Amino acid sequence: MTTLAFLGLGAMGDPMAAHVTRHARQGGHRSLVWNRTASRAEAHAHAHGSEVASLEQAARADVIFTCLPTSAEVDEVLTVMEPHLKAGAMWVDCTSGHPQAAPAQRERLAARGVTLLDAPVSGGTGGAQAGTLTVMVGGPAEALEAVRPHLAFAGKVVHVGQSGAGFAVKAVNNALLGVALWATGEGLAVLARAGVDLGAALDVINASSGRSNASQNLIGQRVLTREFPATFALGLLAKDAGIAADLTGEVRGSAPLLAQTAALLRAAERVVGADEDHTAALKLIEQMNDVELT
């Protein structure tokens, strides 16, 4: 029997762990869950039939999934779990982590005989609930093949390279989300000042070459409606764009647009609030232009 453990039952982790638990129950495996706020783990066990575990118990699992805010929190749980880890286990980190954190984490785990895969995900809370997430995996290909059957939350799994490559791809993907979101917000603010109806403008953009995921799936639904449902925190998007900017520096690349987007999102995080939905970044553009995007 394989024991699976899922650590971090947040907006993403909770539904992802539900898929892992369903898969475990179907396959005769054990499914353990741990969350810093224990009541969320208890609610998960009640709703899905997983077993609440301590970090020490979760450390004995064969496959350990983490989905925490940043690599710093992964380091924290790793420190507690390190002495209890089981040789031959796999650690699948679904956090949108930092590529620079991966080498030290890999070495700490390797010293215990545990293989690390960075496996961040894309698709939002809707994709997590539907079990259709895109998973971008860095690390040994044979380790991915070993855990692939347990990636029950995935719609698409791509091996993108060695350790840290998954984190890098995720950071760049989300920096691109930030660019499109911010740029579309700027464009709409200009149109609002020109007196154009934004619903009509967005209708045109979504049928024209300026469209993006942000214009098609986010701004109409979350900004123009003023709903801003908090499914993906602005602080997390700012973090991801910051990682892309860090990566640019590390490889001595030239990506001024990504760097500027990271800085703008950081400013929006301060002004608007880290816990607000990422689309609320456009409230800073509204202030800059003295308009409301409605």
Contacts to ligand NDP from residues 118-157, by CB under 6 A: 121-122, 124-125
Residue 19: φ, ψ to 5°: -65, -40
CA-nearest of 113, 88, 78, 92 to 163 is 92
List the x/- string, 56-95, binding to ligand NDP by CB under 6 A. Answer: -----------xxx---x--xx-----------------x
Smallest gap from Cβ 171 to ligand NDP, in A, equals 10
CA 265 remoteness from chain centre: 16
Mask for 166-205, x = binds ligand NDP (CB under 6 A):
----------------------------------------
SS3 label, residue 263: helix
Phi, psi of 233 (to 5 degrees): -70, 140
Q: Which of residues 21-40 bind ligand NDP (CB under 6 A)?
A: 35-37, 40
8 Å CB contact between 88 and 60: no
Which lies closer to ligand NDP via its Cβ, residue 85 or residue 135?
Answer: 135
**Residue 68, token pair as written in the block:** 């925490």
User: Does 10 interact with ligand NDP (rule: CB under 6 A)?
Assistant: yes
If binding is defined by CB under 6 A, does position 213 make contact with ligand NDP? no
What do you get for the CA distance between the two ends of the chain, in Å? 54
Measured from the CB atom, the residue of 36 and 84 that comes closer to ligand NDP is 36
Residue 273 in contact with ligand NDP, rule: CB under 6 A: no
Q: Which stretch binds ligand NDP (CB under 6 A): 20-28, 154-162, 229-237, 253-261?
A: 229-237
Query: Rounded to whole angstroms, how far apart are CA atoms 99 and 118?
Result: 9
Reduce the DSSP state of residue 92 to 3 states and report it. strand
239 has catalytic annotation: no
Is 96 a residue that touches ligand NDP (CB under 6 A)? yes
Q: Tokens for 126, please give them.
A: 């809707």
CB atoms within 10 A of CB 91: 30
Active-site positions read 170
Binding site for ligand NDP (CB under 6 A): 8-13, 35-37, 40, 67-69, 73, 76-77, 95-96, 121-122, 124-125, 231-233, 236
